[in-house]
Amino acid sequence: MCAAGSIQFGMGILEEILEGKCDEVARLRDPARLDATARALAAASPPRDFAGAVRRADQRLAVIAEIKRRSPSKGPLALDLDVAALAKSYEAGGAAALSVLTDERWFGGSKADLTAARAATDLPILRKDFVIDAAQVDETRALGADAILLVARALRGDLLAGLHARAISLGLAALVEVHDETEVERALAVGATLIGVNSRDLRTFAEDLSTAERLVTLIPSDVICVAESAVRGVGDAERMAQAGCDAVLVGEALVRSVDPESLVRALGAARRSPRR
């Protein structure tokens, strides 16, 4: 097991995913790979402003549009999607940013998907994966991502704090994902300025938007709140906007849509209410 003592177990599918990430980390820590990452980091272009993109001045809800091929709970969603074409469609629809799954085993994604999306648009890009080691943070910036996802439930406080600090030092925005009140407290304690509330239970995969409605009230107004999961249409986006969320991250509904550009535009038309 990698990062001994840092991973919280006993959570079913999440445990299995994290065990697999240990193998990835071992490969990343090969000296030749570390050298290659260091060279790519030195040559990386400046990060795009992810936080600025998702905090809209006009009070409209920001849409983080996701490129997602499959999910552990739903299976294949859009295995043959054209990353560049979809990214351009999202941008044309007014997406504030992109989220790209790079996990291969469970989500069918790849690092190539991220680089293709970045080349196709000017939008800032969130790398969505399960990060448990600093080598993955370095790799994320080296790949050209502008933001990284840190899942609080997968990381104990010391590791969450360390990975968050590493990301910030590299110029990455760090979206800390939470699922309950305790995790909100932990995210705020490490200085998170971007918090994603996931309305999907990682143990059962059940979805409930009331989770986001409940937790957003604990997030200060100067911290960006992103509603993750369970947003299927305009009504759900409006519900999250009325709850005070700054943005929604939407994947499944968009990759399954026959007109993702129009759906992004419709989702982003919701007006945000002041944070309660």
- The residues assigned a catalytic role are 66, 68, 128, 177, 198, 228-229
pLDDT of residue 4: 35
Cβ neighbour number for residue 117 with a 10 Å cutoff:
24
pLDDT of residue 39: 93
Q: From first to last of the 276 residues of the chain, give the pLDDT tens digit.
A: 454 334 444 456 777 788 878 888 989 889 989 999 999 999 899 999 999 999 987 889 999 999 999 887 788 887 889 999 999 999 999 999 999 999 988 898 999 999 999 999 999 999 999 999 999 999 999 999 999 999 999 998 799 999 999 999 999 999 999 999 999 999 999 999 999 999 987 777 788 899 999 999 999 999 999 999 889 999 999 999 999 999 999 999 999 999 999 999 999 999 999 886
- CB within 8 A of 98, min separation 6: which ones? 64, 65, 66, 67, 87, 90, 117, 121, 123, 124, 125, 126
Q: Could you give the count of Cα atoms lying within 13 Å of 75 in the half-sphere of its Cβ? A: 0
DSSP state of 152: G
Q: How far apart are CA 268 and CA 251, in angstroms?
A: 14
Give the CATH H-level superfamily of domain 13-267. Aldolase class I (3.20.20.70)
Closest CA to 177 of 238, 90, 91, 99: 99
Instruction: Using DSSP bridges, classify how beta strands 97-101 and 70-71 pair: parallel, antiparallel or unpaired.
Output: unpaired
The amino acid that residue 221 corresponds to is S
Q: Where are the domains of the chain?
A: 13-267
pLDDT of residue 11: 54
First and final C-alpha spacing in the chain: 42
pLDDT of residue 9: 40
pLDDT of residue 73: 77
Q: What is the DSSP string of 74-125?
A: TEES-TT--HHHHHHHHHHTT-SEEEEE--STTT---HHHHHHHHHH-SS-E
